[in-house]
Amino acid sequence: MNKNEMNLLPRRQFLQKSLQIPAAYLLGLRLPALPQRDLKPQAEVPEGTQLFTLDLETPRIIIEGDGSETDLELTSGGAFIIENGVAKTLQGSTKLDDPWYFANKDDEDLVKREMPQIVFRAVTPEISEAWANYNMEMVITPTKHVTSDSPEVDGTDGIDLFLNYHDQYNLYVAYLTKDGRMMIKRKSVPEGKTEDDAIYSLMAEKQVFDNARTYKTNDNFITPFAGATFDFNASVQNLENGSVEIILQVDIYDPEGTLTFTDRIAGLDDGSLADEDGSGLLAGKPNSNGRAGIRLDSIEAIIEKFEVTARNPFHNPGIKVQD
């Protein structure tokens, strides 16, 4: 057993105890192994070509901090459990003697100490940073809305899709918020600034539900949709003039599978986006490529589909955004 496996062993023992996952999935090499897939994009591929699909057939645990060339990389949230054909966040609070509790023991927020899934982030493999022009779809059923008076929890929390992600400071975010808005934003570090000076630029916004007064206390993610399943579709497209277009569509199905809501918004980054807080800082040249990913804030959930497919033309502009 190597050093990394020794460091992960206590967390795997905790997961087996708390989640009743068979030991074979948690120890050693985490068997059974995932099938190998070549995710590296070609110079040009037909529209609809599958770039990434989250494997829901192979039971396993994706542990925060683990990296893989074929699986999602979990950057926050403790663990991601795949079993019985679905993927799910940690469900419920950890205990005082659980490794996840101690990993967050210095956090002043009790909720974050006991529930690492309160901020859940996962992105596609590093090799996908070269992706450009793609669609991503996620089908998700929130199982619990973690209510809290924490200042970390506010109305902009919700279900986020990451597009053209390079790191937590450089990406596009398309999301549905707890207070009932669909939004598209860009996060960036202006030229000559540091990560501490990262800004948000608003590209599109639409109020679709009146949920502003209930997200702090309501047990459901969105008040009118208890037990609902959300189908998120987002696309990113490089245009001929150098702009980047982002489109988000959200379809909501009730527990019986009936479509009860659908809406969409679109945003454009033409290189002129500015800090939404009015600082005068500019976001700079559009992000022409990057990884895909998800973020959940204060929500426990089950994910039934996560897939990325190519748009036409799909091309590879290079691992880094060109100057």
| pLDDT tens digits along 204-216 | 999 998 776 666 6
Residue 208: how many CB atoms within 10 A of its CB? 16
Whole-angstrom distance, CA of residue 136 vs CA of residue 50: 10
- Helix (H), strand (E) at residue 88: strand 86-89
Read off the pTM. 0.81
| Residue linked to tokens 């100057």 | 323
Q: Prior bond to 151 cis, omega within 30?
A: no
Q: Which residues contact 43 (CB under 8 A, 6 or more apart)?
A: 315, 316
Q: Poorest-confidence range of 77-86, 105-114, 185-194?
A: 105-114
- Helix (H), strand (E) at residue 19: helix 3-19
CB distance 206 to 263 below 8 Å: yes
**In the chain, what are the domains?**
3-34+44-315 (2.60.120.560)
| pLDDT tens digits along 268-322 | 999 999 999 999 999 999 999 999 999 998 889 999 999 999 987 655 443 233 2
CB distance 148 to 238 below 8 Å: no
| pLDDT tens digits along 169-206 | 999 999 998 888 999 999 999 999 999 999 999 999 99
Burial 242-251 (b: 16+ CB within 10 A, else e): eebbbbbbbb
| pLDDT tens digits along 258-278 | 999 999 999 999 999 999 999
